[in-house]
Amino acid sequence: MPEQSLPRSSLVIDNVQVLTPEGWRHDASVWIERGKIRAIGRTAQAHAAQRIDGRDGYLLPGIIDLHGDAFERHITPRAGTQFPLELALAANDASLVANGITTFYYSITDGFEPGPRSRDTVRRLLTALERLMPRFGCQARIHIRHEKVNTEHHAELLDWIAQGRIHLLSLNDHLPALDNQRKVERYLAGLQRRVSMSEAQTAAFLQQLQGNRGLGEIQSLELAAAAREHGIALASHDDETQEDVARSLALGVSIAEFPLCAQTARACREGGAAVLMGSPNLVRGGSHVGAIGVKEAVEQGLVDVLCSDYHYPSLFSAAFMLAELALMPLAEAWKLVSENPARAAGLGASKGKIAEGYDADLLLLSALDGSPLSLQSTWVGGVAVYARSAARDTDCRSVARA
């Protein structure tokens, strides 16, 4: 194991350009003790037994990803296949820290489908994650994406909220109305990647679920009340109309995931909800489902938080793209992946900033070019959980204290 990856009670990272809430601090040092940032600047140089030479690199706050489901591909890489959860989740954790994500909300679909998005799968995932979290490099949290028409086992979900096993709850409605052919076709295209069902089985399946809508709305009110009672962040999902926004705000949502147009995004923000959009939308140049483009939304000042959605590397690159497009300075763009998601999820007092008293969740970069290959080290709680090969010239090396 590289020396810099060993847990230490105290260390100083020297010779770095530090992105603080006030902007860049040049040729600085950062003192970390017991997982927290204790000092930044010249005062940090007098502390710690271990020193790391940052080689004039760039130290940024770790990325906080509130919505990501790419881990599903590690579990079910092809329809009808499933791999052991420990194997899949270990591979996913390695991918997270290699892309600069230091806090990750496993966005688990509590859906109405059989297979990888069923309640049975949620139970297994929740148990496996709770068992494996202490061994992960990335700090893991649970985001349950509850489908409203999944009306079975309602009491179980309420119990999970009361027990503190869920850290973010979003209320989703991905069941297409049968008279909307475009949405039905789009939904079926995704279903075929996850589940092996015949055409006749699929038609009967969708027809049967339509009757759950009324009960699902009643249960959503109870879930939202439970989330508020237990201090769990609540999110809406895919708000399409002003009526959708009004219902979401009435539930007390603090996060609006993927509003579909500028009007709904603006209404969500005006109602006090942080607007979250997907970084793949920006990196690819548009939405894959025909929603508003992130570039357009940023130009109109409608985006508060970016997430990985289904592609982790895009989240690392997105802030750099915003700066390259001259939509905002990098220091401001980086807040969309660090400070803003921390605040939206209720972590703003401890995460998302390089500031005294904050968790030492840090990224050391050799260049500000937007490539994950420029990421040299990832720290979570002051422990290096990822490092590029020591043979590379840009790799940071521990040096003995003079």
Beta-carbon count within 10 A of 72 CB: 22
Q: For residue 79, give both structure tokens.
A: 């329809």
Rounded distance, CA 107 to CA 68, Å? 5
Torsion angle (degrees, nearest 10) of CA 195, 289, 206, 73: 20
* Whole-angstrom Cα Rg for the chain: 22
Rounded distance, CA 215 to CA 190, Å? 25
**Structural domains of the chain sorted by starting position, each given as residue range(s) with its CATH number in brackets:** 3-62+353-399 (2.30.40.10), 65-344 (3.20.20.140)
The mean per-residue pLDDT over the stretch 69-86 comes to 89
Residue with tokens 């148990």: 127
Q: What percentage of the chain reaches a pLDDT higher than 90?
A: 75
Model confidence pLDDT, tens digit, residues 370-382:
999 999 999 999 9
Q: How far is CA 183 from the centre of its chain?
A: 26
Residue 338, classified by CB atoms within 10 Å of its CB into exposed (0-12), middle (13-18) or buried (19+), is: buried
Residue 393, classified by CB atoms within 10 Å of its CB into exposed (0-12), middle (13-18) or buried (19+), is: exposed
Q: What is the DSSP letter of 242?
A: H
Provide the residue count of the chain: 402
Spatial neighbors of 395 by CB under 8 A, at least 6 apart, are: 376, 387, 388, 389
Q: What is the DSSP letter of 112?
A: S
One-letter amino acid of 330 = L
20 phi/psi in degrees, rounded to 5: -100, 170
Rounded distance, CA 245 to CA 255, Å? 11
Query: What pLDDT sits at residue 48?
Result: 66
Are 65 and 307 contacting, i.e. CB atoms less than 8 angstroms apart? yes
Are 260 and 292 contacting, i.e. CB atoms less than 8 angstroms apart? yes
Rounded distance, CA 105 to CA 64, Å? 8
Query: What pLDDT sits at residue 176?
Result: 73
Model confidence pLDDT, tens digit, residues 86-128:
999 999 999 999 999 999 999 999 988 777 789 999 999 999 9
Which one is predicted more confidently, 232 or 390?
232
Query: What pLDDT sits at residue 402?
Result: 27
The mean per-residue pLDDT over the stretch 270-297 comes to 92
Ordered strands of the 63-68 beta sheet: 63-68, 101-110, 139-147, 168-172, 233-237, 255-257, 274-278, 305-307
| Lowest mean pLDDT across 3-7, 118-122, 247-251 | 3-7
Spatial neighbors of 83 by CB under 8 A, at least 6 apart, are: 74, 75, 76, 77
Q: Residue 8 — pLDDT band, cuts 50, 70, 90?
A: low
Give the chain's end-to-end CA distance (angstroms, integer). 24
